[in-house]
Amino acid sequence: MHSFSPFGFDDVVTGVHHSPVKAPQKVLDAPALQDDFYLNLVDWSSHNVLAVGLGNCVYSWNADA
C-alpha cells in the first residue's frame, strides 16, 4: 500500500484484521430525537465530546471521562 500523504505514512501495515466488538461499551439514549435530514442534532467534537440536541436542550457527554 502506498500513500501520497505529506506526513510520511508510506509504511502502512497491510493485512491487519480487526474483529468487530461483540458488545457496546456504552449505550446513550436520545428519546424524541427528531428524524429530519436537514437538522444536525448530533455532533462529536475534536475534544471527544458528544453533543445531542433534544427539544430545547443540548446534552453533552465527554467520552474521555
The pLDDT-based confidence of 26 (bands split at 50, 70, 90) is confident
Rounded to an integer, what is the distance from CA 12 to the centroid of its chain?
23
- What pLDDT is recorded for position 4? 57
Note the pLDDT tens digit of each residue in 39-63. 889 999 999 999 999 889 999 999 9
How many CA atoms are closer than 13 Å to the CA of 45, on its beta-carbon side? 11
Amino acid at 27: V
Rounded to 5 degrees, φ, ψ at 62 are -90, 115
In the chain, domain spans: 21-65
- As a whole number of angstroms, the distance between CA 52 and CA 47 comes to 15
Q: What is the pTM of this model?
A: 0.57
Evaluate whether 22 touches 9 at the Cβ level (below 8 Å): no
